[in-house]
Amino acid sequence: MASNDIFKGKTVLVTGGTGSFGQRFVRKLLDTGSIKKVIVFSRDEFKQHQMQQAIPDPQRKLRFFLGDVRDLPRLNRALSGVDYVVHAAALKQVPALEYNPLEAIKTNVFGTQNVIEASLDNGIKKAVFVSTDKAVSPINLYGATKLCAEKLFVAANAYRKNTNATSFSLVRYGNVVGSRGSIVDILRAQRDKGAVILTDNRMTRFWITVDQGVQLVIDALGLMRGGEIFVPKLSAAKVADLISAFAPKATVRVVGIRPGEKLHETLLTEDEVRRARDIGKYYVVEPQSHEEWDNTHLKKHKFVSSDFRYASDSVKALTKKELLNILES
């Protein structure tokens, strides 16, 4: 949907840029050729070194800044001269965050607020937050912190009422196939030992590829006016089918739903459905608290029906063959 021309002559910074999303996003931006500079902001110097070795950068457009989103002064320095920010840095491992709740809040909530403050202070044009389906009606701390971060990002557009301040929007999607630490990584390790763990035979999840996630963020940057939530149209699958496709010879041990898990995930709340438009590849939720918000870019698109439900047990189910094709892509 969005043209790569939106990056012509622009400088883009991505927080958490050494992750699976960040690495693919950076490669995509460098491939456009017209971008001025791409900055990776993250706290792991070894991962930055690995990424620097792995990504060709003949025109020397790629920069690496060591820093933590918890550190506002460092963010302020890193965002100087930046046009667009993609905020993907987060602590994500559900069990670890349940055991270390304050650390989750410091990074996922206070870190997001720091990104907002630094974006406003540096005159960033657009900022996109990368969220998750776990933020919808959350039942674990990870989801709760991401929900708080979503609310912060949308509310930050209040600064646009009297000034030409930063536009803030967010994207929200499900499980990323093949991302570091994903269920595929876990299943691969378990499969090699001959037995895999399944919590519940009924459990379903949304699935998205890294490339789909990258394109969603690019399209959001091109379409956003500030305050929108961009949600892709995704298929889903039973976790049991994923196991059957990926580890057909392994023994399956059913252990029951663990704390912080849902049977099914949801990508839109009932309240959001009332403000969600179908724009083709995506649903876009309009903000509800900004009276002067410009929605002319969305008016030609219809709202979804009032009884619409967007959950992983209510959408098209991927077949085992389709799952394998995604895993092998």
> pLDDT digits over 129-138, tens only?
999 999 999 9
Domain assignment present for residue 20? The answer is yes
> Higher confidence at residue 241 or residue 325?
241
Which one is predicted more confidently, 182 or 187?
A: 187
Q: Which residues pair with 170 in a beta bridge?
A: 129, 229
Question: Domain total for the chain?
Answer: 1
324 vs 62, more confident: 62
Q: What is the pLDDT of residue 2?
A: 59
Q: Crossing angle, helix 239-246 and helix 320-328, to 10 degrees?
A: 70
Q: Does 189 fall in a domain?
A: no
List 134, 146, 238, 262, catalytic entry: 134
Strand residue runs (E) in 26-165: 37-42, 62-66, 84-87, 126-132
Is 10 inside any structural domain? yes
Whether 128 maps to a domain, the answer reads yes
pTM: 0.93
Lowest mean pLDDT among 14-18, 62-66, 297-301: 297-301
Residue 18 lies in a domain: yes
Domain hosting 296: range is 4-173+208-233+266-304
In a domain, 138, yes or no: yes
The reply to whether 251 falls in a domain is no
Q: What is the pLDDT of residue 247?
A: 82
134 is known as an active-site residue: yes
Q: What's the confidence (pLDDT) of residue 13?
A: 98
Residue 44 zone, left/alpha/beta (φ > 0; ψ -120 to 50; rest): beta
pLDDT at position 307, please? Answer: 92
Between the CA of residue 46 and those of 1, 40, 42, 50, 64, what are the distances in Å? Answer: 35, 13, 10, 6, 11
Asked, for residue 253, whether it belongs to a domain, the answer is no
CA distance 234 to 318: 10
Mean pLDDT of the chain, nearest integer: 91
Residue in this structure with the two tokens 């929900």, named with its chain if needed: 147
Residues above pLDDT 90, as percent of the chain: 67
Q: CATH number of the domain at 14, please.
A: 3.40.50.720
Q: Are 225 and 307 in contact (CB under 8 A)?
A: no
User: At residue 290, does pLDDT exceed 60?
Assistant: no
